[in-house]
Amino acid sequence: MIAHYLNLIAAGISIVSLVIVTYGTAVAAVAFIRNELGRFTGRYSGLNIRRLRATFGTYLLLGLEFLIASDILKTVLEPGLDELAILGGIVVLRTVLSVFLNREIRELQTEEKRQAE
């Protein structure tokens, strides 16, 4: 009986993950289109694209965090090699994305500071 509820909770967390990634994708798509339309008015900025990548990456990382939580629950319920492999793959992907996103954000902050001076 408890396994049934944990499965429902894991499914709910997975849905939250999908909503976060979908929302982040929509936000990024709108920002991208606005920036590209700026080419016609002279408002296009490569810096905006870098900001967009950092923002979108943040949504992806948050979605992956929720997905990891869901997979941990599923792995606890059905401990098997397949579940552990999937969980490990997601954790590795999230870690790699986090490293590159943090580097991108630091570079973006440095560039913004230089432009402000």
Per-residue pLDDT tens over the stretch 92-102 = 888 888 888 88
Note whether 75 and 83 are within 8 A (CB): yes
Instruction: Check: pTM over 0.85? Answer yes or no.
Output: no
87: nearest Cα among 76, 100, 71, 98: 71
Residues in the chain, pLDDT under 70: none
The pLDDT of residue 31: 92
The pLDDT of residue 115: 75
Q: Collapsing DSSP states into helix, strand and coil, what is residue 34?
A: helix
What residue spans of the chain are helical by DSSP H? Answer: 2-41, 46-77, 81-116
The pLDDT of residue 27: 96
* 72/62 Cα distance (integer angstroms): 16
Looking at residue 96, its amino acid is: V
The pLDDT of residue 95: 87
The pLDDT of residue 13: 94
